[in-house]
Amino acid sequence: MKIQNGASAPALPACPKKAIELFFVTHPKAPKALLGPFLNKEDAACGLVVMRSAEAVVTSSLVDDIDELTRWTGINNGAICRAFAGNGAHHD
The residue ranges of every structural domain in the chain are 20-85
pTM of the model: 0.74
User: Measured between alpha carbons, how far is 55 from 33 in angstroms, rounded to an integer?
Assistant: 13
The neighbour count for residue 70, using CB atoms within 10 Å, is 15
Q: What is the tens place of the pLDDT at every residue in 30-50? A: 999 999 999 999 999 999 999
Q: What is the bridge-based pairing of β-strands 57-63 and 35-38?
A: unpaired
- Contact between 84 and 50 under an 8 Å Cβ cutoff? The reply is yes
pLDDT tens-place values along the chain, 92 residues long: 334 445 444 554 554 557 799 999 999 999 999 999 999 999 999 999 999 999 999 999 999 999 999 999 999 999 999 999 987 555 54
How distant, in Å, are the alpha carbons of 8, 15, 16 from that of 11?
A: 9, 12, 12
Q: In which element (H, E) is residue 21 found?
A: strand 20-26
